[in-house]
Structures are given as structure tokens and as C-alpha cells.
A and B are shown apart, each in its own frame.
Chain A
Amino acid sequence: MSVRRLAKEQPASFAFSTESQAKADWWKAKYPAVRKQSAVIPMLWLAQKQEGWISEPAIQEIAKQLEMPVIRVLEVATFYVMFQLAPVGKTAFVQLCGTTPCQLRGALDLRSVLEKKIGPAHTVSADGKFSWEEVECLGACCNAPMAAINDYYYEDLTPESLSAILDDFAAGKAPQPGSYEGRKSSEPKDKVQTLTDPKLYDGSAAKKIKIPNLPEKPKKAKAEPAA
């Protein structure tokens, strides 16, 4: 992570689309009127969903809508790395995991693919369609190496499969997310050796258990009078 600053070049204005404004209003209505600013994270997220990134006018607009000091919105926007403060690729924004498990499984090779096909990190390609950055662990270590592209995880990648995925995006297709090794979620790659008993899944193997801390059933014996 490096020092986070707003992008040098900013659009002149920002406005929520009718759709995002409706969602924003839904979030705002969730909180009491005096605690309106609780909606700041969802609002920032909506602005990012709409534009791909958070611009300075967007920060101003959110501060205005939530009646909070603009510096407070800036604080939140710069705190969370999930908020992009500079434009990202319109078609595909790749967040490549570079943490140890992925790195051991070949993330560095994926990085050179991205560098070759898109360019240096944090730089939008000339056509404005692609950009990429390296991120910390995305929690899919079982399927390393992986990358999040837009909203989905693409797992068990190889330089070839990542390259193909990017080509698909470039061609306007929507590549299937998930494992690119034919695995179902994060099951073992070759031979599944555990949890194979079908009884586990139909409930027949389950034993009756005594659930602790249940309220006691009323006893039939007469209760002692209260002292």
C-alpha cells in the first residue's frame, strides 16, 4: 500500500444516476436522520459501482447528501483500499493476488502477463478498457493463483488461461468465473478422498445429540413454594 491521494485529473462534476440514487436513498433511510452519515461507506461504494472509481466531485456530492464535512468523507475514502481513487479499466479491472500462497503458485508469472497485455500496474490501457493492480490476500488461497476481475474471482489461473480470459474480455465476452482447472469450488484437484460417504449428505448418518443449555421442561413434580 502506498500513500493514497485523489487522482490529479478529476471530472468537472458527479451525479448519481437515478438507479444509484434510489439505492443511496434506501441506505440513507436505514439510519436515523441524525445518524445519516452512517451511510457513507455504502454511498461511496455506489459511486464507485457507477463510475468505476471515486472522484473528488463524488466525495463532495456524498458529503452534501449526508450533511457531513467533506474531510470526513475523504478520510473514509482514503482509509479503505477497496475504494479506487483513480480511474480503472472500463471492461476489466484486474486485482491480482500477490500474497505468499499465490506467489508460490505462480502469481509472478501472471503479473508478467498483465504487464505485457495491459501495461504497468495502476495504469489504464490506451483504449481505456483494462487496468490492473496487485492486492493483498483475497482469501482464496486454496485456488491459488487467483485474481479478482471486476466483481468475480478467477481461480487456478495459468499464464495461458489468464491471457485467454483477458482476450475474452477484450472481445466483449463475459468469461466464466471460478476455477480454471475444472475444480468444483475448492475441492481437491484430482481424487476426492474425504467426505465421500453419501450418508453425510442425506442426514442419515447424523446422531441424535443433546443440545446444551436448553430451557428445562416444566417438571411434573410439584414445585417447592418460594421461600
Chain B
Amino acid sequence: MAIAKVNGVEVEFEPGMTVLQVAELAGEEIPRFCYHERLSIAGNCRMCLVEVKPGPPKPQASCALPAAEGQEIFTKTPMVKKAREGVMEFLLINHPLDCPICDQGGECDLQDQAVGYGRDESRYDENKRAVEEKAMGPLIKTVMTRCIQCTRCVRFITEVAGSPEIGLISRGEDVEITTYLGAAVTSELSANVIDLCPVGALTSKPYAFEARPWELKKTESIDVMDALGSSIRVDARANAVLRVLPRINEDVNEEWISDKTRYAVDGLQRQRLDRPYVRVDGKLKPATWNEAFAAVAAKIKATAPERIGVIAGDLQDAESLKATKDLFTALGVKNLDARQDGSALGAGPRESWLFNSTIAGIEDADVVLFVGANPRLEAPVLNARFRKQWIAGKTRFGVIGEQADLTFGYDYLGAGAKTLSGLAKAKADFVAALKAAERPAIIVGQGALSRADGAAILKAAAGLAKTFNVVREGWNGWNVLHTAAARVAGLDLGFVPGEGALAAGDMLKPGAVDVLFLLGADECETAASDAFKIYLGTHGDAGAHKADVILPGAAYTEKNGLYVNTEGRVQIGKRAVFPKGEAKEDWSILRALSEVLGHKLPYDSLDQLRAKLFADHPTFGQIDFAPGSVPTVFDLATVGGEGEVSDAPFESAVKAFHLTNPIARASVTMAECAANVSAASKIAAE
């Protein structure tokens, strides 16, 4: 550890740190615009100037200057004050004075730092420059006159998102941030540039002129759009969620979120089920809760338990899954399934369905093999980590499945199960690397598992993992990448068919069951089934259209709930707003229904339900703990099942990134993005 002095106070620091970082260690605030911890250093805003001894007698850009042993750093001298005032004055020369109509107002770095480090008045009375607005797609609104050319957006899109589509053209006074000829940004992480923009040049288009930051009620919660469980902050005013922002969580999402996480929330205001409905003479008619419960009870009481099926959806919280399981188990129903897509997971040890390396820990892997997964579409934020590893040259990647643009380089090994089973003996260069790897990892996607031969493929993948010693003392490289936020919780709860019972796919066949209870299940095809369908959910989507009774539930922003992400981390989602209309929180609907059915659930509050949940399934009590952070060895031989393997190529479980769940499908913004993507792919195909 080296030692430097900051304003006369000695600070120990790791060699390789910059002067800015050392000053921060000492608790000094250094103003900055272009510098960002997770991006490369540009050094072009000059706001972070400090005085450094020894060195030339002039201010130095601390973000780009390596700290050295015995260095003396001054952040409060007259020289520094004057330098910062000068830089700020220059930055403000061309910056418009439109803070009252700027969406960044109140959360603007330039505004804050102008107050903190600027002069009280400008000496500039020439004309300010004006810059044309740029088209950047349906998410990013531009007011380019406000741009201070920090290039954070260019660096983010190039380095982190891996789709270099934003650039800085021209030079000098005329520089402009733009996409190539006004094309929309196609990255799934594109809207993070809005957070990165230190001024109001790039702001949120769907949220334009909606609210001021100080009007919003901020709730820290968990995202359900994919299985990562990104940490989010839900900003709401009155009873409407206006926007979602990322929270920093180094273990999961660093400080990024996907565009779907951020912008699907306008879907929370549309197509909502805000009162119970009962189908009378083929038409859904509004009903009271009592009428709806009576209709459900009459049907369920008249049906034998083995003729009742329960399918749980992808966005459910663990509590509603637990209440559903408790209720229907009490009724003697064994046809329970939380796997709408027919995924083969659920048998065997818990490790077999988790992302055991953990999301942060996968950065330690040296060779990674993807089996039927497209991380760019299934978990864009995780994909950014893979790209980071690839840029650092630390990790080699191989893919069996779709040969898609993943934003990082990989060895393409083959399309389907044939390659998978033959890989152990293949001569490919990558196989040798996998064999020699110290921390090899296999990432299995739902595209490979949610097929008729999923169990056999799972077995083949596990066999491969055994061959390459992927699970060893101190390292567990067996990873399952889920796409559904509720899936791991469902599997952990044992929300899978009991002995001899029907799985989701079989329940949906005509004549298989007489009553089908759909707990927010919208991703399965229910049209063929002739059963009496009860739908508990939030949106008038696939599940509700065919339902005979609709029980309006709460979306993820409207209830307190536990979610287990793909690595098995239990996280707490918080209620930001209340459920719409007459809708209730899911667990309380189930609790009320249980009373009508004569099998009263033994909990009267969410706390009691959680206590029961923790008692029955202790893993749920380990809040924010990723089981993989303490690597455990488990027997891979128990994973998967026998069966014929088809030769069909693996396809990603996510076909249309922007439209994977009922909330996103109800969102206008997501529809625009999806249209944009399909238009772009049409142009590319020509």
C-alpha cells in the first residue's frame, strides 16, 4: 500500500488508483462530468482539476492522473477553486438556461455542481450555440443544445452495451453526439445512457414532462422482468408508477437495468383487471368478489382433486405461490406446476436449478459454455458482465445454440443436442480450453430445457459438466439461466406436479382437467383446454381472455413480496402503489378464497404467511443471500432424466425481448421498441 497526502492528511491507497479515487478515499468530493467508475477514462470535461505536488505548477485532471507514493494532493487551494470556476464558466457558455423546462432539473449534475463550484455570474455575452435534436429511438429524448460533450453515452454504448451506435461527430465548437444518420439505438441496455447523462441532453422520452423528481415517492424494490432480480427504485406519484430507475447492487445489476425493466411500467396502467369478472352466457360480466368466489367455490367443490390443475405464472411473488400451493394441497390437488414453458427442472438437488457461480462470481470463470441460452435477450444486464470479461480477455466463451450477436466473441460449437452430447470427444480448440480450465462454467438456458426432450438434454449437459469437472471443491460452475422471475421460487417451493400428477403441458390438453387455476399464467396456450378456467392476475392478457372467472390481483409494484432470482438469492420487493380498483394482493385473495372453499389457510397477515414460508422452506429466510457464494459440491448424476433427444436446434427462450410478459405486452413503449427492432431486422435482412 502506498501513501499519499490529501489536503495534508495521509491516505493509504492501492497502487494503480487515480488521484481522484485517492481524494475520494480521503473523503474529499471531486466534481466531475465525464469520469464514471464503470467506464473508461476520457478526461475531457476538466471539472476534476486538483493541485498535485510534485508536478507542474498548474491544475491537473485528477481522473486521469495516476496517484503516486508521497504525492501531495490539494483540493481546496485557491488554484483549484479558480480552475473549477473557470471550467464551469466554460461549460455554461453554451449551456441553455432552460432548467425550468428541463426534465433533468432537480437531479442534474451540472445544476448541482454549478451551485457548488461555479461563479455567481457569467461574463459571456455572445450568442450561444444551438444544436439540432437527434433521433435516437423511442426511449431516448434528445435536447442536444444542453450537451456538454462528456461522451459518457458514447463510452457506455461502446464498452458496456457493446453496440457502438452513438458517436461524437465533427470537432471543436461543432461537436455533436449522434447516432449514425439518426438511427435508433438497438441495445437492450440503451436507456442507461439517460442515467449516465450528467445534464438534460439525453432524457427519458416516455417520461418527458411527466413529473419533477421531488414530487415522486421513491420505493426500493426488485425487478421481475427477467430472472436476475435487478435492484430497482420505483418512482410513483399518487397511484401511478411513473418510472423505474436502477439501484446500485454490485452482486446483481451493478448499476444498469434493461430497457424492459425501465420502460415496461407504462403497461401497469393499461389493460388492467380492476374488478372481478364471471363468464355468464359466454361473456365476461363484472361481478362482486363474493359472486366470483361463489362461482369458483361451486366449481371446485364439485370437482375431484385429480381433475383440478394449477399453473403459476412467471411474475409471481413467493408468497402467492406458497398460498396457492397450501390451498390446493389442502384440497388434495397434485396437478401443480410453476413451469408454464415445460422446463425440465425441478427434480434433484436445489443446486441443479440455480445459477451456482452467482452473477458476480461468474466473472471469475475462465471458460464459459452456453447451452441453448442467449444471455443478451434473456438477461441483458448479465450479458454486460460477459462482455466486460471478454474485453478484459479473462474469459473464453463457447456457444451451443443460436448463433446470435451477443456483443462478445465466442467459439460457435453447434446448434443442438448432437453437438452437446458429442462435445466431450470433439476436437475443437474450445474443448481443450474447457478441459484445461481452472474455473469452467456451463450456463444452461431455458431454450434447451423447455422442450419435450428437456430432461434428456439436462442430463446430457450435466454429464458434460461432470466430464469437464465443472463442479469441484471450491468452485461450482453449473449454472441455469432462468427467464422467469418466479421460477426459482416455484421450484424451491416444490410447486411441481406430485407423483403421477400432470405437468403444465398435460393439464392444458383437452379433457385433461375440469378446473384450471391460472395464477398469473399468461405464457401458456390455454385455448385448447376445455376446463373451467379461473385466472388470478393483473392484465387482460392471454390468461384472462379465455378465463371463466377473473380474480384481479396486484402487479409487482403493488404488493410486498419475495422474489428468488436465478442464483437463488431471495430479495424483497416493496409496494410502491396500491392495486388497481377492486384488485387485492394475491395472497389475500387466496386467503379469502380458502375460507369460501372451507380450507382456511393458517395465516391472516403477510408476516404470518412469511413465517410459515420460512418455517416450511428455510431457504426463503436467507434474504439477499446467494447460495452459490459458498460453493457447494453436489451430485450431477441426479440431474435430468432419460429420454430420446431430438435433433432440433436450440432456440432462445426469449424470441421478442420487449414482449415477454403481460406487463410488457400492455406497454405502449415496449410495443414501439418491438416495432423498431423488427423494422431494424428487416433492413438488416435486405
Contacts and interface: CB of A to CB of B under 8 A. Distances in A.
B342 interface: no
Contacts of A121: none
Given A1-B174, A3-B176, A6-B181, A78 B169 contact: yes
A147 to B, nearest CB: 24
10 contacts: A1-B174, A3-B176, A4-B169, A69-B158, A69-B164, A71-B164, A72-B164, A74-B167, A78-B170, A78-B171
Nearest to A4: B170
A95 to B, nearest CB: 18
A79 interface: yes
B170 A71 contact: no
Contacts of A56: 181
Given A71-B166, A79-B169, 14 more contacts: A1-B172, A1-B174, A69-B164, A70-B180, A71-B167, A71-B179, A72-B164, A72-B167, A74-B167, A74-B169, A75-B167, A75-B169, A78-B170, A79-B170
A81 B165 CA distance: 23
B513 to A, nearest CB: 53
Interface in A1-44: 1-4, 6
Interface string A54-76: 00100000000000011110110
Contacts of B179: 71
Given A6-B181, A74-B180, A69 B174 contact: no
A3 B167 contact: no
Interface residues of A, number: 14
A43 to B, nearest CB: 17
Nearest to A71: B167
Given A6-B181, A70-B180, A75 B174 contact: no
B145 to A, nearest CB: 13
Interface of A: 1-4, 6, 56, 69-72, 74-75, 78-79
B168 interface: yes
A75 B180 CA distance: 9
A75 B176 CA distance: 10
Interface string B145-173: 00000000000001000001111111111
Nearest to A60: B180
Nearest to B174: A3
A80 B171 CA distance: 8
Given A3-B176, A70-B180, A71-B179, A79 B171 contact: yes
A136 B162 CA distance: 38
Contacts of B176: 3
Contact of B180 (A3, A4, A71, A79): A71
Contact of A4 (B164, B174, B181): B174
B165 to A, nearest CB: 6
B190 to A, nearest CB: 14
Nearest to A77: B169
Contacts of A78: 169-171
Contacts of A71: 164-167, 179-180
A75 B151 CA distance: 13
Given A1-B174, A2-B174, A6-B181, A75 B165 contact: no
Contacts of B181: 6, 56
A69 B165 contact: yes
A192 to B, nearest CB: 41
A1 B158 CA distance: 28
Interface string B170-204: 11111010011100000000000000000000000
Contacts of B171: 78-79
Nearest to A81: B171
